[in-house]
Amino acid sequence: MNGVVRRYRAMPLRSRLALLVATAVAVAVAAVSVACWLLTRAQLGEELDNTLRNTSAPPTLVQAALATCGVPGTVPDDQRSGFAYIQVVLIDGTRCAAPESPPVRVTGQDVAVARGHRLDALHTSVTDGGVDVRVRTQRQEIAGRAVTVSLSRPLTEIDSSLNRLALLLAGLAGAGVVAGGAAGLWVARTGLRPVDRLTGTVEHVARTEDLTVRIPVEGEDEIARLSRSFNAMTAALASSRDRQSQLIADAGHELRTPLTSLRTNIELLARSEETGRAIPAADRKALMASVKAQMTELAALIGDLQELSRPDAVRAGPLEVVAFHDIVRIALERARLRGPELEIRAGLAPWYVRAEPAALERAVVNVLDNAVKFSPPRGTVEITLDRGVLTVRDQGPGIPADELPHVFERFWRSPSARSLPGSGLGLSIVARTVQHAGGTVTLGAATDGGGTVATIRLPGAPTPPPDAPGV
């Protein structure tokens, strides 16, 4: 049995579908044929019984049957029994068969009729020659006396008709199975043709990595739904690949600037050591500060890439009670270094939250970096933290309303900002970090004076809990 199942599963889907259709047709034809044969047999048997009920034996033949048992009677010139076998049953079970009628075995039902216990009997019996017969035994008046007469007809008449019908039905069943198999193969080929096209397209995509291929969608059936899903999948993959390519280009551009500056500063320091020309202390200090700032920028970018590469379900570390206002203050210092010409106003009220300290700091830095990057020269950035709501407002060009729903998506960058440095990672990292801490983040247009307002809401308290270590 297991071997049959394994062979069936190893068959192509088209062959399995054709086999299933042929099997279903075979079962249906067999069921109809058996039902037809049984109904025909029942109908023929009922007609035979009705014929025996509505027929009486000729008196002359009954007298001839009695004469065979020594009972006085008249023997007719024509001693043929006609359409039925005729015999007389005596009260002691003795049978007296008419001429040309084979003796039929007497049963208890026949004797009961002869003794007057029953009016008649209809049953199946057998001749001495072994032929099955249908028998009707009844009382009949012959020459003024009551005689028990059995009329019987051979069942071979019905059997021969049923055998011919069985052969006919078997032939029709065989033809039906063959036709069902052919129809199943046709249905399989026709029904699986869209699947073949889908398979060919998938193989083409796997072979060529061409994600621009689309499958024509026809109708509203399951194949059409599968085709739409495949087209949507390839479109999403193509979009993801384009965004990843854009991410690589943006990350390369972002890395190139600090690396170039870092290389220049290091070469100046190395040349000073090689030539013996000492760099003035103030210049040397400025170079070292620049090297440190560029290294910090590189570390931040690499950290963003690592943060984004983690699955959404994976959390970097346990949540800790941290001072949100201190984290914002540290981020403010970095923002002032990136935009020394800007005016940054801050009002920070104490607020303690449960979050990942490093991730939360990175998120706040990303928000402030965006405000600094898009602010005009000598512009103003306003930062407030009140009861767990951090608001960062700049005076930049703002974000179009149709782009706001996409600002937190991975790899997404506004078309108006693609010429600026950045990888499109910052706000997606912000959104995931804030959600991890149980908060929300929104971005919208300022209601007065233009610019953009970023709002981060984190649950917490103005004082640390008693069990918070080191806060």
Angle between helices 281-309 and 222-275 (to 10 degrees): 160
Residue 168 CA from chain centroid, whole number: 45
Burial of 29 (0-12, 13-18, 19+ CB in 10 A): buried
Judgement on whether residues 142 and 242 belong to the same structural domain of the protein? no
Q: What phi-psi label fits residue 267: left (phi over 0), alpha (psi between -120 and 50 degrees) or beta?
A: alpha
Instruction: Give 400's DSSP letter.
Output: -
Measured CA to CA, the distance from residue 131 to residue 221 in angstroms comes to 62
Distance CA 156, CA 142 (A): 30
CATH of the domain at 66: 3.30.450
Residue 115 sits in the same domain as residue 139: yes
**Rounded (10°) angle between helices 426-436 and 281-309:** 60
Flag whether pLDDT at 370 surpasses 50.
yes
Q: Are 460 and 351 in contact (CB under 8 A)?
A: yes
| Residue given tokens 């049923």 in the structure block | 162
Q: Is residue 108 part of a domain?
A: yes
Shared-domain flag, residues 320 and 433: yes
Return the higher-pLDDT residue of 434 and 198: 434
Q: Kindly state whether residues 302 and 317 are assigned to the same domain.
A: no
Q: Minimal CA–CA distance to 443: which of 464, 422, 457, 459? A: 457
The alpha carbon of residue 424 and the mean position of all alpha carbons in its chain are separated, in whole angstroms, by 35
Least confident of 80-94, 276-290, 300-314: 300-314
> What pLDDT is recorded for position 262?
81
- For residues 280 and 205, what is the distance between their CA atoms, to the nearest angstrom? 62
Are residues 447 and 365 part of one domain? yes
How many domains, in total, are found in the chain? 3
Q: Please give the share of the chain, as a percent, with pLDDT higher than 70.
A: 84
Whether the CB-CB separation of 29 and 173 falls below 8 Å is answered with yes
Q: Which range of residues forms the domain containing residue 266?
A: 222-308
Say if residue 347 is in the same domain as residue 451: yes
Domain stops at, among 281, 308, 335 = 308
Instruction: Write out the H or E segment, with its range, that includes residue 346.
Output: strand 343-348
What is the DSSP pairing of strand 452-457 with strand 440-445?
Answer: antiparallel
d(CA 110, CA 155): 19
Last residue of a domain, one of 115, 138, 155: 155
- Give percent of the chain above pLDDT 90: 11
**Sole residue written with tokens 């194949």:** 223
> Which pLDDT value is given to residue 227?
80
Region 85-113: what's the mean pLDDT? 88
CATH code for the domain of 411? 3.30.565.10
What is the pLDDT at residue 314? 44
> Is residue 142 domain-resident?
yes
**Does a structural domain hold residue 469?**
no
Q: Write down the pLDDT at residue 1.
A: 54
Residue type, 136: R
Average the pLDDT over each of 15-19, 384-388, 418-422, 452-456 and give the range with the smallest value.
418-422
Please report whether residue 10 resides in a domain: no
In a domain, 334, yes or no: yes
Mean pLDDT, the chain, integer: 80
Residue 44, domain member (yes or no): no
What does the CA dihedral 89, 90, 96, 97 come to, rounded to 10 degrees? -10
Residues 278 and 414 in one domain: no
- DSSP code string of 273-323: HHH--PPPHHHHHHHHHHHHHHHHHHHHHHHHHHHHHS-TT--SS--EEEE
- Taking residues 385-401, report their average pLDDT: 86
If one compares 53 and 253, the residue with the highest pLDDT of the two is 53
Q: What is the mean pLDDT of residues 40-53?
A: 88
Residue 201: inside a domain: no
* 406 within some domain: yes
Residue 291 sits in the same domain as residue 338: no
CATH number of the domain that residue 294 is part of: 1.10.287.130
Query: Do 301 and 317 reside in the same domain of the chain?
Result: no
The answer on pLDDT for 122 being more than 60 is yes
Q: How confident is the model at residue 410 (pLDDT cuts 50, 70, 90)?
A: low
The closest alpha carbon to 392, from 410, 369, 409, belongs to 369
Pair 229, 267 in one domain: yes
The reply to whether 267 and 326 lie within a common domain is: no
Same domain for 260 and 320?
no
pLDDT at 135: 92
Q: Taking 60 as the threshold, does the pLDDT of residue 92 lie above it?
A: yes
- Residue for token pair 């085709």: 227
178-191 b/e (C-beta count within 10 Å ≥ 16 → b): eebbeebbeebeee
- Domain-terminating residue out of 308, 323, 352: 308
Q: What is the pLDDT of residue 320?
A: 87
Cβ-proximal residues to 336 (8 Å cutoff; 6+ apart), any chain: 342, 344
